[in-house]
Structure 1
């Protein structure tokens, strides 16, 4: 069945609220509740979970936001005991950021369900198809930002 652009938009407008609703129902683990976590924190934690320890600059580059914004987020999450910061052994001016060891299971529980769902949804797709999914979602995000 060939979908026209309008058919696709209609299907996505019906689907997106359900996707968001289901993602929200995954819920924040008890260990992370009360920390006033926002979607931006989820993105930061996802990078640290999947890539391991990173510097503030590396996080800023990946999140496509200013290093000062990342520093503020890291400070908030560090005060809450979710993240730890340490000096880089090779350059004492740099700080390495990581998920606190006692919070790893909670962060994994929070992000793991969504990651597993994406792996299931993407199973059997080609690299080009996966690239298209990410490209389209990024374009949608940009277009929403331009609507303001």
Structure 2
């Protein structure tokens, strides 16, 4: 596990993204949008398992950096649709896709119950780490 986390942290950021100070907290959000396409801030919050205000803050940071687009939802003007702009998609895919491909390679052969066990283990791991930092 530590080697996998260390490997992720050492992944070289593409040149066109280096000056944007993208942090690990941004990677899950960006990966979701790359893999699953545009979605609302609320959907992002639900998928990331964070409060909508936290997702909104992340989206705001990334929008100001030019890494995300926010537009009004045509069906409900109160909602915002978040997406990766075409100009940044290639760089983000080069940077984040190797990890997504590796997860697919690791998880695709597993049965649904086995995949659920892996997710459960990672969730427990994250919870244990969080408990350790609260001391």
Q: TM-score, normalised by structure 1?
A: 0.83
Note if 1:137 corresponds to 2:122: yes
**2:3 aligned partner:** 18
Match of 1:110 in 2: 95
Matches within 5 A, 1:1-148: 16-147=1-132, 148=134
Deviation at 1:123, TM superposition (A): 4.3
Stretches of structure 1 lacking an aligned partner (at least 5 in a row) = 1-15
Unaligned 5+ segments in structure 2 are none
User: How much is the aligned-residue C-alpha RMSD, in angstroms?
Assistant: 1.3
Q: Hey, which of these two has a bigger chunk of strand by percent? A: 1
Q: What TM-score do you get using the length of structure 2 for normalisation? A: 0.91
Q: Contact 1:74/1:83 (CA < 8 Å) preserved in 2? A: yes
Larger Rg: 1
Greater CA drift, 120-129 or 89-98: 120-129
Contact 1:48-1:99 within 8 A present in 2 as well? yes
Counterpart residue number, 1:11: none
What is the Cα deviation at residue 18 of structure 1?
A: 1.5
- Which 4+ stretches in 1 moved above 6 angstroms? none
Say which SS state the counterpart of residue 96 (structure 1) adopts. Answer: strand
SS at match of 2:77: strand
- 1:93, 1:124 → 2: CA distance? 41
